[in-house]
């Protein structure tokens, strides 16, 4: 028995029971009909009008399992059954209307489209998910661009806060800077002191944000459920039962590294300002 592709999302029942006269149903279907794994479900489809058969076809199946794909459209409407059983039930006579192919990297689907078209023939209609869900794909690309811009400005604002903090630190440590310069500390030493202070603050903030961001992305679904329970509000949008999130290690590291470099460079400004402070001017009003 070949797997249906949804078996990894089973929340009740067993895929081993997914045989002839057994089906897999979504959790929303099960909730609406009050079904559990092992219960019976009756399915009815219209007869084949082209063959003059107007009588509806009805069969009873056993619920082998209940799945939760986290996509409302699937969980509310989809029912899976073995291919041969579906062909018999729908009167397809060993044929099928559509074949879905899953690839390892869906974002590079263009690399296999030409080979699929060549293998299927010119009379076959082939659509990729980007074309079929072009509106969603366009929204996702716009969202990615907007998020990069937002992250850039957030990083700049955070860096400005660090600059402000170091400037205040230099202001409060004017007397100490003068004493260091008087006993022989050079401008480079003073610069390194305040630069390292800013770097440590930036590193701590970057690390904290990185850990918090990874934790939120990893546990986005239970976190959403907890917030929905606490505020009695649903975050579901259209066909999406929850806010999807995917962790991209490369982009995460680039953002973290960029934030660290930005905060470190901004720290140089007040650090160099502290190094230019002359002992006489610093002690004049002490």
Rounded-to-integer distance, Cα 158 and Cα 15, Å: 50
The stretch 133-152 carries a mean pLDDT of 80
**pLDDT classification of 222: cutoffs 50, 70, 90:** confident
Judgement on whether residues 139 and 55 belong to the same structural domain of the protein: no
The stretch 131-139 carries a mean pLDDT of 77
Is the model more confident about 212 or about 48?
A: 212
**Residue 120: inside a domain, yes or no?**
yes
**Residue 176: inside a domain, yes or no?**
yes
Judgement on whether residues 17 and 119 belong to the same structural domain of the protein: no
Average pLDDT over the chain, rounded to whole? 79
What is the number of domains present in the chain? 3
**Residue 189: inside a domain, yes or no?**
yes
Is the model more confident about 148 or about 17?
A: 148
**Residue 182: inside a domain, yes or no?**
yes
> What are 237's two structure tokens?
């949008």
**Residue 2: inside a domain, yes or no?**
no
Judgement on whether residues 202 and 275 belong to the same structural domain of the protein: yes
The stretch 123-131 carries a mean pLDDT of 79
Is the model more confident about 225 or about 49?
A: 225
> Is 70 exceeded by the pLDDT of residue 282?
no
Q: Which residue from 107, 90, 103 is spatially nearest to 48, judged by alpha carbons?
A: 90
Beta strand extents in 68-200 (DSSP E only): 79-80
Task: Say what angle helices 174-182 and 187-218 make with each other, to 10 degrees.
Answer: 130
CATH number for 14? 2.40.40
What element of type H or E holds 78?
A: none
**pLDDT classification of 52: cutoffs 50, 70, 90:** low
60-111: per-residue pLDDT in tens? 898 888 888 877 778 888 888 888 888 888 877 777 777 777 778 777 787 7
Judgement on whether residues 27 and 84 belong to the same structural domain of the protein: yes
pLDDT for the residue numbered 11:
85
Judgement on whether residues 210 and 268 belong to the same structural domain of the protein: yes
**Residue 119: inside a domain, yes or no?**
yes
19-47: per-residue pLDDT in tens? 778 888 888 888 888 888 888 898 888 76
Judgement on whether residues 174 and 274 belong to the same structural domain of the protein: yes
The model carries a pTM of 0.52
147-197: per-residue pLDDT in tens? 888 877 887 787 788 888 888 887 787 777 777 777 777 878 888 888 888
235-244: per-residue pLDDT in tens? 665 555 566 6
Name the residue range of residue 227's domain.
Answer: 134-283
Judgement on whether residues 138 and 278 belong to the same structural domain of the protein: yes
Judgement on whether residues 121 and 207 belong to the same structural domain of the protein: no
**Residue 1: inside a domain, yes or no?**
no
172-182: per-residue pLDDT in tens? 877 777 777 77
Contacts of residue 10, defined as CB under 8 A and 6 or more positions apart, other chains included, come to 24, 65, 66, 67
The stretch 56-62 carries a mean pLDDT of 86
HSE-CB at 63 with a 13 A cutoff on CA atoms is 25
Judgement on whether residues 89 and 124 belong to the same structural domain of the protein: no
The stretch 10-26 carries a mean pLDDT of 81
Judgement on whether residues 184 and 273 belong to the same structural domain of the protein: yes
Judgement on whether residues 254 and 144 belong to the same structural domain of the protein: yes
pLDDT for the residue numbered 115:
80
Cβ 66 vs Cβ 10: under 8 Å: yes
* Among the ranges given (7-16, 47-56, 266-275), the one the predictor scored with the smallest mean pLDDT: 47-56
Judgement on whether residues 138 and 279 belong to the same structural domain of the protein: yes
pLDDT for the residue numbered 1:
45
Rounded-to-integer distance, Cα 125 and Cα 91, Å: 22
**Residue 109: inside a domain, yes or no?**
yes
Rounded-to-integer distance, Cα 6 and Cα 100, Å: 13
- Please state, for a pLDDT cut of 90, what percent of the chain lies above it: 0
């Amino acid at each position: 028995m070949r797997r249906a592709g949804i078996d990894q999302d089973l929340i009740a029942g067993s895929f081993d029971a997914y045989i002839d006269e057994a089906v897999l149903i979504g959790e929303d279907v099960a909730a609406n009909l009050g079904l559990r794994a092992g219960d019976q479900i009756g399915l009815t489809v219209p007869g084949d009008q082209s063959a003059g058969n107007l009588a509806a076809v009805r069969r009873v199946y056993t619920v082998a399992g209940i799945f939760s794909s986290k996509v409302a459209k699937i969980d509310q409407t989809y029912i899976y059954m073995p291919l041969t059983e579906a062909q018999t039930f729908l009167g397809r006579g060993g044929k099928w209307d559509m074949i879905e192919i899953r690839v390892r990297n869906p974002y590079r689907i263009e690399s296999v489209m030409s080979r699929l078209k060549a293998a299927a023939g010119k009379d076959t209609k082939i659509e990729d998910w980007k074309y079929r869900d072009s509106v969603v794909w366009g929204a996702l690309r716009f969202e990615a661009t907007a998020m990069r811009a937002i992250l850039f400005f957030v990083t700049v604002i955070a860096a400005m806060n660090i600059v402000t903090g170091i400037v205040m630190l230099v202001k409060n440590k004017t007397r100490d800077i003068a004493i260091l310069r008087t006993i022989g500390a050079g401008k480079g030493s003073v610069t390194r002191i305040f630069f390292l202070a800013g770097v440590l603050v930036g590193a701590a903030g970057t690390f904290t944000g990185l850990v918090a961001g990874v934790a939120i992305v990893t546990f986005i679904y239970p976190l959403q459920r907890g917030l929905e329970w606490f505020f009695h509000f649903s975050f579901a949008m259209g066909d999406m039962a929850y806010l999807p999130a995917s962790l991209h290690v490369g982009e995460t590291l680039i953002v973290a590294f960029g934030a660290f470099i930005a905060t470190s460079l901004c720290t140089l400004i007040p650090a160099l300002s502290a190094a230019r402070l002359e002992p006489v001017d610093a002690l004049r009003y002490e």
